[in-house]
Chains A and B, each alone.
Chain A
């Protein structure tokens, strides 16, 4: 079993850059895709994208491509979600989760981080 521990809450002003993290421990971090999921205040879950730590292969939802950057540093078992310039509409909780389906085209997240609250406000 893997444990995913995310970085702490962030408060940013519009236009600032931001990078949040998701550190894995336990099972081999590089063997499974890591996904990111957004939850806007009081709303449902949205699939943002996936990264495969072994080779950094990355897939984005069309809704988020160009808006965020997903990356990984496999040497420290950590995945990242990054914004070049945040907007007020980026205010959300962001979860990382391990994807264990037989294919990356299967939504099957068996372990989740605790979530990172991002607040963007002037």
Chain B
């Protein structure tokens, strides 16, 4: 069981918007940067968001990140079937003295 809590699954229709939450505590999200990763089926994870809300070059602005207190949120607009994937949040945990990932959220675009 991860110290970062994500909903196991979310679903929405093409063209719509979705948010994925990541809840932690003061020793992780509350005091460290959050990153988000997309893992398409059968592939390696891919960085979507770093430093809470920054996008690497090549990541469309349909993807956004935010953080407030001990929670972080990934937002995706204009959903496409190609966005169907597992999404993970990650951060450092100062108490555990290691990196931690959320349990992952499976996004379905129906």
Do chains A and B interact in one complex?
Answer: yes
Q: Which of A62, A106, A110 contacts B33 (CB 8 A)?
A: A106
Expressed in whole angstroms, the Cα–Cα distance for A60 and B35 within the complex equals 20
Q: Which of B50, B91, B96, B101 contacts A45 (CB 8 A)?
A: B101
Task: Give the number of residue pairs across the A-B interface with Cβ within 8 Å.
Answer: 72
| Pair B98/A35 contact, Cβ less than 8 Å | no
> Which one of B13-21, B41-49, B60-68 is at the interface?
B41-49
Residues on A with C-beta less than 8 A from B46 are: 112
Expressed in whole angstroms, the Cα–Cα distance for A46 and B2 within the complex equals 9
Residues on B with C-beta less than 8 A from A105 are: 32, 92, 94
Q: B82 interface residue, CB < 8 Å from A? A: no
| Pair A45/B104 contact, Cβ less than 8 Å | yes
Expressed in whole angstroms, the Cα–Cα distance for A6 and B47 within the complex equals 18
Interface size on A, residues (CB 8 A): 25
| Pair A61/B44 contact, Cβ less than 8 Å | no
Q: Which of B35, B88, B99 contacts A44 (CB 8 A)?
A: B88
Residues on B with C-beta less than 8 A from A106 are: 32-33, 92
Task: Give the size category of B's interface with A.
Answer: 20 to 34
Expressed in whole angstroms, the Cα–Cα distance for A3 and B100 within the complex equals 24
A-to-B contact residues, CB < 8 Å: 35, 37, 44-47, 49, 59-63, 95, 97, 101, 105-110, 112-115
Name 15 extra pairs, CB < 8 A, besides A109-B35, A109-B45.
Answer: A44-B103, A45-B39, A45-B88, A47-B100, A47-B101, A63-B98, A101-B33, A106-B32, A106-B92, A107-B33, A107-B92, A110-B56, A112-B44, A113-B44, A115-B44
Nearest 7 A/B pairs, CB to CB: A47-B99, A61-B98, A112-B44, A107-B99, A44-B104, A107-B90, A45-B101
